[in-house]
Structure 1
């Protein structure tokens, strides 16, 4: 049962990520996210990296509270959120944006589709008219682009 809770929390986080990316990061908190679309600062860190801390808090809270309650459901939800955060970091920061120069090349259709979808997201420099706000769920058209040689 605990594995099911972890998987459910992990999958639900894709919806949370999509919603917050579209309506919070490209809305009320654009002032933190815009340097991710327009390279405005020098150095390794961006203002956008504050979202890492913001999004880590529910996972940490779930892990902490769940441990204090004898590893109840909150621990397993916190673990699912934390694992999604790890996946997001590996896919977004490491694989797509190459903040660490590993996992550069792949022939995997799924990872190529993720990279294409994210590239389409970043072609919009402003907060309006964006697309592809999720991370791990990729619209089918980005798989078809591979088949068409794009």
Structure 2
């Protein structure tokens, strides 16, 4: 049952990520997200990186609350959120934005589709007119671009 809670939470996080990215990061907290689109940051850290802390705090609180009287479902929800956050970091920061130079020459159609969708998202440097706000789920047209190349 606990594994199911973790897995369902992980997949629900994709929808929450889409909503948060579209309506919070491209909404009232655009001032923190803007430098991620216009590359105005001059260092390794962007204002956008503060979202790591913003999103980690509720997860940490859920983990703590979920362990006060033994491990309850709040803890396993927090584990699902934390695993999604780690996946986000590895795929977004390391793979897509190449903060570490790995998987540069991948031919994996799924990874290439994720990278292409994210590039489409960054094509828009302003707050409005964005697309592809999700993370692990990619619109079908990007999958077709790369899966059709498999022989």
Q: Which residue of the partner structure matches residue 141 of structure 1?
A: 141
Q: Which residue of the partner structure matches residue 130 of structure 2?
A: 130
1:147 CA displacement: 4.9
Which 4+ runs in 1 deviate beyond 6 A? none
Say if 1:10 and 1:81, in contact at 8 Å, map to a contact too: yes
Say if 1:58 and 1:81, in contact at 8 Å, map to a contact too: no
In structure 2, distance between residues paired with 1:63 and 1:14: 20
Q: Which residue of the partner structure matches residue 108 of structure 1?
A: 108
In structure 2, distance between residues paired with 1:13 and 1:21: 12
Q: Which residue of the partner structure matches residue 76 of structure 1?
A: 76
Q: Which residue of the partner structure matches residue 41 of structure 1?
A: 41
Say if 1:62 and 1:79, in contact at 8 Å, map to a contact too: no
Q: Kindly provide the CA deviation profile for residues 28-72 of structure 1, in whole angstroms up to 9, marking residues without a partner as x.
A: 000000000001111100000000111111211111111112000
Structure 1 gap ranges (5+): none
Q: Which residue of the partner structure matches residue 118 of structure 1?
A: 118
Q: Which residue of the partner structure matches residue 31 of structure 2?
A: 31
2:25 aligned with 1:7, yes or no?
Answer: no
TM-score by length of structure 1 reads: 0.96
Q: Kindly provide the CA deviation profile for residues 98-131 of structure 1, in whole angstroms up to 9, marking residues without a partner as x.
A: 0112222211111000000000000001010000
In structure 1, distance between residues paired with 2:86 and 2:135: 12
Report the secondary structure of 1:126's partner residue: coil
Say if 2:109 and 2:147, in contact at 8 Å, map to a contact too: no
Report the secondary structure of 1:68's partner residue: coil
In structure 2, distance between residues paired with 1:118 and 1:103: 16
Report the secondary structure of 2:129's partner residue: coil
Tell me the matched-pair count.
149
Report the secondary structure of 1:129's partner residue: coil
Structure 2 gap ranges (5+): none
